[in-house]
Every structure is written in C-alpha cells, then in structure tokens.
Amino acid sequence: MSLAKSPTGVSARSLLQFKDMKVLGISGSPIKNGNVDLLIQQVLKGTGSKGGKTEIIYLDKLKISSCRSCGKNPEPKFCIIKDDMEKVYAKLKSSDVLVLGSPIYFDTVSAQMKLFLDRCNCLTPLVKKKNRYSFKSRLKKKRKGIIILVAGEKQRFDCALIPLLGFFKWANVKYVDKILYAHSFFEKGKVTEDKKIMQRAFELGRKLI
C-alpha cells in the first residue's frame, strides 16, 4: 500500500519522522534580525517546511561565564559553573540538527560565539580509569550541522571556520555544509534583498532534514 504524499512530495510517514527532529539555531551575533540572524531563520524555515521543530538561541541574551579550565568531570552535570549554559547544554543534547551562525570580527567568530565554544569543552571531558586517561564523549547521538558566517567583503572566513569545525568534531556533529556571506553594505538585515543567498539558505535547511 502506497503512502499518501504532501504537496511537497514528502510521504506522510516521513513527515511524522521529521516532526520528531529538533533543529537548533545558535546565533553568535549581538544584532537581532541582523544578517546572521536572518540567514539562520531562513535555514530553519527550510527545515520547518519539512516538519522539523525549530528553535534559535541568542547567545548575546544569555549570561555565560568564561571557561575556567578546571579540568574536572562534573558528571552528571555538564559544567561546574551555574549559569545560562545549563539551558544550552540541555538543548544541545536533545537536538538532531545544529545551525551555528556568527559575524566575523577581526577575522574570527564573535566573543559571544567564542564563549559558547569554550564552555563546550566539557562535552568531551578527560577521564581517568585504571591510571589511564582518555576522552569521553557525552553527546552520543550523531547530529548534523551547518555553519553560517557573515563578513565584510575584505574580511577572511578561514580563521573563523577552524574553531567551528573543531567544535563539530568535539561535539559529535557531522558537518554538512556552510554559508559564507561577504557583503559591502552596512544596513541592518539587507541580506534579505539577496534572493539567491536567501533561497540557498532555505534549500540548505531542507537538505539538513
């Protein structure tokens, strides 16, 4: 017996599976509805069009302390520091897809994004067993991820990609694709006028599902 299909050509069974998928956007931009935020939203629209449950975390709105490099394994908690990262850890653990977005500042990620990355060191802590040390991943579930970076036309992307790709490896995230958007304008949210990049972001969201 064939399954009924939606207007988008997706089977009813697939839609039910997609509705269980949690897609988490993490914005390292301090500008709400700026270019980074709008591109993340567009990717999430793509995933949402196929039934994914979407949410965005705005790091700039959270109280996150810097990593103290304590070297401790705080299990069953993720970190010894009690702040808003506790909520972020819970969202990370339950997510199936990650969308990380940041503006480029001095050829790397924003301070907000760097704080987040450093505090995720505890996702794979160093543990000692029988006088031997090894790393233990606390995010067993494999999830997909993409990277969104926005910069001025004369800035570089490679230095920002390195820590984000390193995070994906550390956090058991399968890197899928990236959007590197360079522009020559200064108006807030003007990326929406670039229909090509907005469409690409939407389609990339669909690809993630």
**Rounded to two decimals, what is the model's pTM?**
0.85
- 117-163 pLDDT, tens digit per residue, is 999 988 876 666 777 766 677 777 889 999 999 998 888 899 999 99
Check pLDDT > 70 for residue 104.
yes
Which of the pair, 18 or 198, is modelled with greater confidence? 198
Task: Locate 192 and state its tokens.
Answer: 């929406």
Which of the pair, 29 or 187, is modelled with greater confidence? 29
Could you give the CA distance from residue 173 to residue 150 in angstroms, rounded to a whole number?
21
Gyration radius from the chain CA atoms: 18
Q: Which of 84, 81, 104 is nearest to 92 (CA)?
A: 84
Residue partners of 9: CB distance under 8 A and separation at least 6: none
- 37-75 pLDDT, tens digit per residue, is 999 999 999 999 999 999 999 999 999 999 988 877 777
Are 178 and 148 in contact, with CB atoms under 8 Å apart? Answer: yes
- Say if residue 42 is exposed, middle or buried (CB neighbours under 10 Å; 0-12, 13-18, 19+): buried
* CATH superfamily assigned to domain 23-208: Flavodoxin domain (3.40.50.360)
Q: What is the pLDDT of residue 3?
A: 36
Q: How far is CA 128 from CA 59, 73, 77, 122, 133, in A?
A: 32, 10, 17, 15, 4
Alpha carbons within 13 angstroms on the beta-carbon side of residue 197 total 21
Is the N-terminal amide bond of 125 cis, ω within 30° of 0? no
Q: What is the pLDDT of residue 2?
A: 30
DSSP one-letter code for 61? G
- 176-199 pLDDT, tens digit per residue, is 999 999 988 777 888 999 999 999
